């Protein structure tokens, strides 16, 4: 009898031997889904000299880790990775396959889905199992202005790329038991038609915006060097990180990795404070999961005020220096 499609398989992404946070989140999310679907949670780990990572994946929720280790796989190689992953899915027949919506996941997943001739939804922000046992994937469209519930009713596996920061990883449990299966990998150089020659990573900032508890964001309304220096000072005072919108990125006041929104980072800090940001959907989709949203805008009709907990109608350029001054006074008094 042919094997049935069962269980959940995730893709584990590692860079230079470091597991990406989203891959641990996928395992956590998969565990929750597996309570409804049954079957085990497996993951696919690929790279070179990475076998030691398998135990960590088990500690974070994997029942089985399939490892593809080969000297040609030091960097992500799309052709080889597609082939090995597709073969593994054919053989293991997971009902659901989850991949992080990263630059690498978004390169790999569509190609694998096309090889398998199955459906794939992009940048999923929520996953649930419907009463019919089918995976419901909530996908943002039109810049996040519209949400769609997408299913893949007939073809298998059901595949989705999931935004980093959406699913929750489980607490690490070193005593969890799991199986490590080493795959027999053969790669010829000719197969690597699109070959990664090198990979350069600048060390991420000490506190990337997606990890900060408080994010101070600036927009076009305060788009000058002086204001952004004040944002930095404020962030330092509060122990947070600075982010911004597209137009301030275009003016080089922030880096690519500090842009918040649809084409940037999705963040979920305790507090988001936006200065001089209009609140276009493209940006707002990136902050919707914040616990508290505060915004300062000079225009009482700015759309951002529809999304705030606390909104201040006022001139951010005046408020910023005063806020810094007052906070400094307060924090100094606290220390005495």
Ligand X SMILES: Cc1cc2nc3c(=O)[nH]c(=O)nc-3n(C[C@H](O)[C@H](O)[C@H](O)COP(=O)(O)OP(=O)(O)OC[C@H]3O[C@@H](n4cnc5c(N)ncnc54)[C@H](O)[C@@H]3O)c2cc1C
Interface residues for ligand X in 138-177 (CB under 6 A)? none
Rounded to a whole number of angstroms, the minimum distance from the CB of residue 180 to another protein is 27
Nearest to 250 by CA among 276, 273, 223, 230: 223
Query: CA 23, 28, 33 angle in degrees (round to 5)?
Result: 120
Query: From the CB of 258, what's the least distance to another protein, in Å?
Result: 11
Q: Which of residues 259-298 bind ligand X (CB under 6 A)?
A: 259-264, 276-278, 280, 282-283, 296-298
> Whose structure tokens read 């963040």?
267
Among positions 220, 238, 251, 289, the unique one binding ligand X when judged by CB under 6 A: 220
**Contact region for ligand X (CB under 6 A) — 31-39, 168-176, 206-214, 257-265?**
257-265
Query: Between residues 101 and 302, which has the closer beta carbon with respect to ligand X?
Result: 302
In sequence order, what are the residues at sequence separation of 6 or more whose Cβ sits closer than 8 angstroms to the Cβ of residue 308? 293, 294, 295
What are the distances in angstroms from CA 59 to CA 22, 24, 38, 106, 278?
15, 10, 19, 26, 43
Among 246, 266, 269, 293, binds ligand X (CB under 6 A): 246
Q: How far is the CB of 285 from ligand X (least distance, A)?
A: 8
DSSP per-residue letters across 92-139: H--SEEEEE-STTHHHHHHHHHHHHT--EEEEESEEEE-TTSPEEEEE
Give the angle 270-163-170 at the CA atoms, nearest 5°.
Answer: 70
Residue with tokens 């080969």: 70
Applying CB under 6 A, the site for ligand X has a residue count of: 26
Task: Select from another protein, ligand X, none the partner in contact with residue 50, using the beta carbon and a kind-dependent cut-off of 5 to 8 Å.
Answer: none
User: Greatest CA span in the chain, whole angstroms?
Assistant: 75
CB of 307 to ligand X, least distance (A): 12
Nearer CB in complex with another protein: 185/294:
294
Per-residue binding string, ligand X, 305-324, x by CB under 6 A, is ----------xxx-------
Nearest alpha-carbon partner for 124 in 270, 280, 249, 10? 10
Question: Pick from another protein, ligand X, none: which does 277 bind, CB < 5 to 8 A by kind?
Answer: ligand X
- Residue ranges that bind ligand X, judged by CB under 6 A: 219-221, 245-247, 259-264, 276-278, 280, 282-283, 296-299, 302, 315-317
């Amino acid at each position: 009898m042919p094997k049935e499609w069962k269980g959940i398989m995730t893709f584990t992404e590692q860079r230079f031997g470091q597991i990406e946070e989203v891959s641990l989140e996928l395992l956590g999310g998969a565990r929750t889904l597996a309570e409804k679907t049954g079957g085990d949670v497996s993951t696919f780990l690929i790279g070179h000299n990475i076998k030691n990572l398998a135990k960590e994946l088990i500690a974070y929720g994997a029942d089985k880790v399939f490892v593809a280790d080969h000297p040609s796989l030091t960097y992500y190689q799309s052709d080889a990775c597609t082939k090995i992953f597709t073969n593994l899915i054919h053989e293991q027949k997971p009902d659901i396959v989850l991949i992080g919506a990263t630059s690498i996941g978004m390169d790999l997943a569509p190609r694998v889905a096309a090889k398998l001739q199955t459906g794939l939804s992009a940048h999923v922000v929520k996953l649930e199992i419907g009463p019919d046992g089918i995976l419901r994937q909530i996908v943002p469209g039109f810049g996040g202005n519209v949400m769609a519930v997408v299913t893949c009713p007939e073809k298998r596996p059901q595949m989705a790329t999931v935004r980093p920061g959406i699913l929750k990883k489980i607490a690490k449990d070193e005593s969890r038991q799991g199986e490590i299966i080493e795959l027999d990998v053969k790669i010829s150089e000719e197969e690597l038609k699109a070959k990664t020659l090198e990979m350069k990573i600048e060390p991420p900032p000490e506190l990337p915006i997606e990890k900060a508890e408080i994010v101070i964001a600036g927009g076009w309304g305060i788009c000058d060097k002086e204001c952004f220096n004040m944002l930095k000072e404020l962030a330092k005072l509060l122990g947070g990180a600075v982010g911004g919108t597209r137009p301030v990125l275009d003016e080089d006041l922030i880096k690519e990795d500090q842009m918040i929104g649809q084409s940037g980072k999705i963040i979920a800090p305790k507090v988001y404070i936006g200065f001089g940001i209009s609140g276009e959907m493209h940006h707002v989709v990136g902050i919707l999961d914040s616990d508290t949203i505060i915004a300062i805008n000079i225009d009482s009709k700015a759309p951002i005020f529809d999304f705030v907990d606390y909104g201040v109608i006022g001139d951010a350029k005046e408020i910023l220096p005063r806020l810094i001054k007052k906070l400094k006074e307060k924090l100094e008094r606290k220390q005495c």
